[in-house]
């Protein structure tokens, strides 16, 4: 489990269009806001994604690139992007490796039922590869405003 100030390991993943994403290469251009969410096209995940979409210009202007991560397929990510007009990339984590690496997978309880699932979390990674801010087990609504405040962008 990472803490603020920790260096994050490099990783390579696949984006919604099948192209590779290399963390170290991306950090050469900007800081990364890596957010983990449970499922494409569900109410909470749509709210969160649309909030990131609407704040993209602010993040971009301050040198931050937003990237979402879920276990959904490339095709599901493409449908989500098209349906919501998302203006940022989504990583396919179908083998759960990134969720586990970042501690964004674990036991959850809903309506008294316990199960394993994605833990809605955000990791703000500075260009030097260290964690500037971590939000674990966050709520979808209002989360992007909190990230903006944490980065002194609001």
Residues 6 or more apart from 111 whose CB is under 8 A from it? none
Q: Tokens at residue 118, please?
A: 């994605």
Q: Are 44 and 78 in contact (CB under 8 A)?
A: no
Q: CA-CA distance, 79 to 84, in Å (whole number)?
A: 8
Q: Which of 8, 23, 32, 45 is catalytic?
A: 45
Q: CA-CA distance, 87 to 67, in Å (whole number)?
A: 10
Catalytic annotation on 45? yes
Q: How many beta carbons lie within 10 A of that of residue 114, not counting itself?
A: 9
Q: CA-CA distance, 38 to 40, in Å (whole number)?
A: 7
The β-bridge relationship of strands 105-110 and 89-92 is: unpaired
Residues labelled as active-site residues:
45
């Amino acid at each position: 489990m990472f803490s603020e100030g920790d260096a994050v390991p490099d990783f390579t993943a696949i984006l919604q269009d099948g192209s590779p994403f290399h963390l170290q290469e991306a950090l050469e251009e900007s800081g990364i806001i890596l957010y983990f969410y449970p499922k494409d096209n569900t109410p909470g995940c749509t709210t969160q994604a649309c909030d990131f979409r609407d704040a993209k210009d602010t993040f971009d202007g301050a040198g931050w690139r937003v990237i979402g991560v879920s276990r959904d397929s490339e095709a599901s990510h493409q449908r989500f992007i098209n349906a919501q007009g998302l203006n940022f990339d989504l990583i396919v984590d179908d083998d759960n490796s990134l969720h586990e690496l970042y501690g964004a997978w674990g036991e959850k309880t809903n309506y008294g039922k316990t199960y394993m699932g994605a833990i809605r979390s955000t990791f703000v990674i500075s260009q030097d590869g260290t964690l500037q801010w971590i939000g674990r087990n966050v709520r979808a609504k209002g989360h992007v405003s909190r990230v903006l405040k944490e980065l002194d962008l609001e």
